[in-house]
Amino acid sequence: MTAPPALPRHPIIAIATAPGRGGIGVIRISGPQLRPWAEHYLGQPLRARHAHYLPFPAGDGTPLDHGLALYFPAPHSYTGEDVLELQAHGGPVLLQMLLARCLESAAERDPATGEPRLPRLRLAEPGEFTQRAFLNDKMDLAQAEAVADLIDASTETAARSAGLSLSGAFSQAIGSLREQLIHLRMLVEATLDFPEEEDVDFLQEADAAGQLQQLQAQLESVRRRARQGALLREGLKIVIAGQPNAGKSSLLNALAGAELAIVTPIAGTTRDKVEQTIQIDGVPLHIVDTAGLRETEDTVERIGVERAWHALEGADAVLFLHDLTQRESAAYQQGDAQIRRHLAKRIAPATPVLHVWNKLDCVTPAAQAAVTAALPAGEESLFISAQAGTGLDVLRQRLLELAGFQSLPEGVFMARARHLRALAEVGEHLNIASAMLEQPERPLDLLAEELRLAQTALNAITGEFTSDDLLGVIFSSFCIGK
């Protein structure tokens, strides 16, 4: 990867640790020519990559705090610029005072030159340290995004996946695809450059069709691992729906392992959405309990029902909960049938619906068998007791299957939606190229263009071709200190 040439940039400063109290707080400064100012402010020479224990002086020379100063000269630093880190005690007021003092000291005039000691030092924008690391070719764009994903990881599996991407494994996989694609482009271009050599078919001699098939197979492997990584990052939104008193809140509580929703025998207790993120085998699942779906004259409950339908429209999967104890009630059957009709209209056809029959502990095995026999053909159903915990392990595993998560032996890349879109675009161009290769009169100029477009889409993942607008969107989502 060839990054844009590093240009002189104004030095930046930020508190690099999370807001709030802590044992340690870090002030990070990055920019050109930090050393003269840093040694003046701290009052002693600084050795590269050495921890100096010293006072951090206030404006009158008295110490604000004592801590560690670490100096990393360019280019051997996180950003590729000179970097200074001041590790103080983690009190929010103290860190703000130290930050203000650094800005004040940088603006002081050097008596010898009359210029500020560190001109134009300013507060960093969100993600600006990592953005500079990318622009200075310290990491590619996929690795830079993995920094934020590692910080935001909500499960151990997600953290390991983000660490794998940060180490460059995802970028290496993309690089391997790129090398094969470049080789294919070279073969096509050679054939275009020497059309008079009719007795030499470069593409056939080099088995271009076979190389393209191998490339497509490798691309599918990378896409599969990336899809799993995107699932680890984003999770899956699962909405529990059903009539009042079917046990939706009890199921939420059982899955979460905590009393999050109020459970009473009174129908219509839940008036609004209750959300909780749980993890199953490291996959975050966002479970949403909703108001019971029924016609009602209660204004507040009616609002809750409408919010439930809005939640269902945005669901990745639906748990349609049924009450086994009401299975023979004509009114209850009519209510379930009405919900089925509305689900068919208001959720996407591809959204999976899992029918879950609750209160198994309240019915006989014969009753369960009768319900099973009466199930519509092709309708997937599970039987559970949210109260007793029966069947919940089976339900959890089925939720993972609905999410599409599979433990892959070669590891999972942390990936984002834009990565998946780019990989899908690469696949589309390669499919078109494959069809062109099979034609008797191969349109080589169009084939070359499809391969070029595939490479452009691939390059966008690691940032070789990335617009400034996209960079702004990506890095603005980072925390200030990164």
The HSE-up count of residue 295 (CA atoms within 13 Å, CB side) is: 7
Residue whose C-alpha is closest to residue 82's, from 135, 132, 157, 123: 132
Range 158-191 burial, b when 16+ CB lie within 10 A, else e: bbbbbebbbebbbbebbeebbebbeebbebbeeb
Residue by residue, DSSP assigns 417-464 as HHHHHHHHHHHHHHHHHHHHHTSSS--HHHHHHHHHHHHHHHHHHHTS
Residue whose C-alpha is closest to residue 84's, from 25, 12, 9, 134: 12
Once rounded to an integer, what is the mean pLDDT over residues 76-100?
Answer: 95
pLDDT averaged over the chain? 83
Q: Does 300 score more than 80 pLDDT?
A: no
> Which of 62-66, 153-157, 441-445 is the most confident on average?
62-66
More confident position, 80 or 381 = 80
> Residue written as tokens 């940088």?
106
The verdict on whether residue 351 carries a ligand-binding annotation is: no
The verdict on whether residue 146 carries a ligand-binding annotation is: no
d(CA 49, CA 280): 42
The verdict on whether residue 389 carries a ligand-binding annotation is: no
Q: Does 267 score more than 50 pLDDT?
A: no
The verdict on whether residue 265 carries a ligand-binding annotation is: yes
Once rounded to an integer, what is the mean pLDDT over residues 63-71?
Answer: 96
Of 126-135, 245-254, 397-406, which range is least confident? 397-406
- Number of CB atoms found within 10 A of residue 73's CB: 15
Once rounded to an integer, what is the mean pLDDT over residues 69-94?
Answer: 95
The verdict on whether residue 51 carries a ligand-binding annotation is: no
Contact 94, 82 (CB under 8 A): no
The verdict on whether residue 17 carries a ligand-binding annotation is: no
> In this predicted structure, what is the pLDDT of residue 268?
45
CA 381 to chain centre: 31
> Which of 30-39, 268-277, 406-415 is the most confident on average?
30-39
Tokens linked to 110: 């050097």
| Cβ neighbours of residue 120 closer than 8 Å, sequence gap 6 or more | 10, 11
d(CA 325, CA 90): 57
More confident position, 178 or 407 = 178
pLDDT tens, position by position, 194-218: 655 554 466 777 788 889 999 999 9
> In this predicted structure, what is the pLDDT of residue 294?
64
Tokens linked to 13: 């400063």
> In this predicted structure, what is the pLDDT of residue 411?
66
Contact 292, 270 (CB under 8 A): yes
The verdict on whether residue 291 carries a ligand-binding annotation is: yes
d(CA 191, CA 200): 9
Once rounded to an integer, what is the mean pLDDT over residues 259-273?
Answer: 46
Tell me whether strands 381-383 and 63-72 are parallel, antiparallel or unpaired.
unpaired
> Residue written as tokens 């400064």?
29
Of 83-97, 106-120, 408-422, which range is least confident? 408-422
Run of H or E including 153: none
The verdict on whether residue 290 carries a ligand-binding annotation is: yes
The verdict on whether residue 401 carries a ligand-binding annotation is: no
The verdict on whether residue 292 carries a ligand-binding annotation is: yes
Contact 290, 346 (CB under 8 A): no
The verdict on whether residue 325 carries a ligand-binding annotation is: no
Once rounded to an integer, what is the mean pLDDT over residues 399-421?
Answer: 76
> In this predicted structure, what is the pLDDT of residue 5?
44
The verdict on whether residue 270 carries a ligand-binding annotation is: yes
pLDDT tens, position by position, 152-192: 787 787 888 888 888 888 999 999 999 999 888 888 887 77
pLDDT tens, position by position, 448-478: 899 999 999 999 898 876 556 556 656 776 7
Tokens linked to 112: 């010898």
The verdict on whether residue 25 carries a ligand-binding annotation is: no
Q: Does 8 score more than 50 pLDDT?
A: yes
Strand positions, DSSP E, 58-150: 63-72, 82-90, 122-123
What is the SS3 assignment for 466? coil
Tell me whether strands 122-123 and 12-15 are parallel, antiparallel or unpaired.
parallel
Range 278-312 burial, b when 16+ CB lie within 10 A, else e: bebebbbbbbbbbbbbbebeeeebeebbeebbebb
The verdict on whether residue 249 carries a ligand-binding annotation is: yes
> In this predicted structure, what is the pLDDT of residue 198?
53
Of 307-321, 350-364, 381-395, which range is least confident? 307-321
The verdict on whether residue 246 carries a ligand-binding annotation is: yes
d(CA 286, CA 83): 40
Of 219-228, 239-248, 284-293, which range is least confident? 284-293
> In this predicted structure, what is the pLDDT of residue 299?
66
> Which of 247-261, 339-353, 421-435, 454-468 is the most confident on average?
421-435
User: Model pTM?
Assistant: 0.69
Q: Does 263 score more than 50 pLDDT?
A: no
Once rounded to an integer, what is the mean pLDDT over residues 305-315?
Answer: 79
Contact 419, 427 (CB under 8 A): no
In order of start, what are the domains of the chain with their CATH numbers?
12-140 (3.30.1360.120), 164-232+416-462 (1.20.120.430), 235-403 (3.40.50.300)
> In this predicted structure, what is the pLDDT of residue 1?
42
> In this predicted structure, what is the pLDDT of residue 271?
45
Confidence of residue 269 (pLDDT cuts 50, 70, 90): very low
The verdict on whether residue 345 carries a ligand-binding annotation is: no
> Residue written as tokens 């707080």?
25
The verdict on whether residue 248 carries a ligand-binding annotation is: yes
Tokens linked to 52: 């100096």
Percentage, residues of the chain above pLDDT 70? 86
Three-state helix/strand/coil letters over 162-228? HHHHHCCHHHHHHHHHHHHHHHHHHHHHHHHHCCCCCCCCHHHHCCHHHHHHHHHHHHHHHHHHHHH
